[in-house]
Amino acid sequence: MAALRAAKQALRKEIKRRVAALSDEEKLRQSLIVSHKLFQHPKYVSSKRIALFLSMSDEVRTEEIIKDAFKLGKSCFIPRYERSNSHMDMLKLGGLQDMETLPLTSWNIRQPADDDESREEALAAGGLDLILMPGLGFDKSGNRLGRGRGYYDTYLERCVKSPKGKPYTIALAFKEQLCQEIPVDDNDVLIDEILYEGDE
């Protein structure tokens, strides 16, 4: 386990270095290519209930995806992370304006406030059709390297146990986040597909 943790840490450092070297223009350029690939994806087109993330500076930008999803009348859910443990809920977003008024966390991510009980949690109602996954690194076998807190792995386990079952998962990545091989253990959940600029 210690060796695996060390390998993951080293890889996180390396990927962060590669992504940090990208200009904002390059990140935006790749983000738009990835977004357009998603818009044509049959799983995205057919999904009614989507969980997506509000991007941080080292992640594929999701603004255009959120706009498109609302325009198509899809229900959008975003994460609310609990800092003290690896618990995360996916809470319903009312629209673009709702998103802009969400409070900022210390991680500089907008998310519903802890005492905001009015929002629907995705699994408490109709489940999810699709989860768009963030991550630091990915390999072509569908392995994902997260930030080490296990939020998404834990949430996907909850999805598996829910009536609707596990949603389809698509990771959005800069090509600089692709690795030959991600070191994983039994708790790491495989992703169905990874979208990035390049030959599929």
pTM (predicted TM-score): 0.93
Rounded Cα distance between 149 and 168, Å, is 21
Pick from 48, 67, 124: nearest CA to 90 = 124
DSSP, collapsed to helix, strand or coil, labels residue 190 as coil
pLDDT at 5: 86
Domains for the chain: give ranges and CATH numbers: 2-195 (3.40.50.10420)
Residues lower than pLDDT 50 in the chain:
none
In tens, the pLDDT along 161-171 reads: 998 999 999 99
- Burial of 36-54, coded b for 16+ CB within 10 Å and e otherwise, reads ebbeebebbeebebbbbbb
- What CA–CA distances, in Å, run from 73 to 46, 79, 111, 141? 11, 19, 21, 32
pLDDT at 184: 83
DSSP, collapsed to helix, strand or coil, labels residue 171 as strand
Over the Cα atoms of the chain, what is R_g? 16
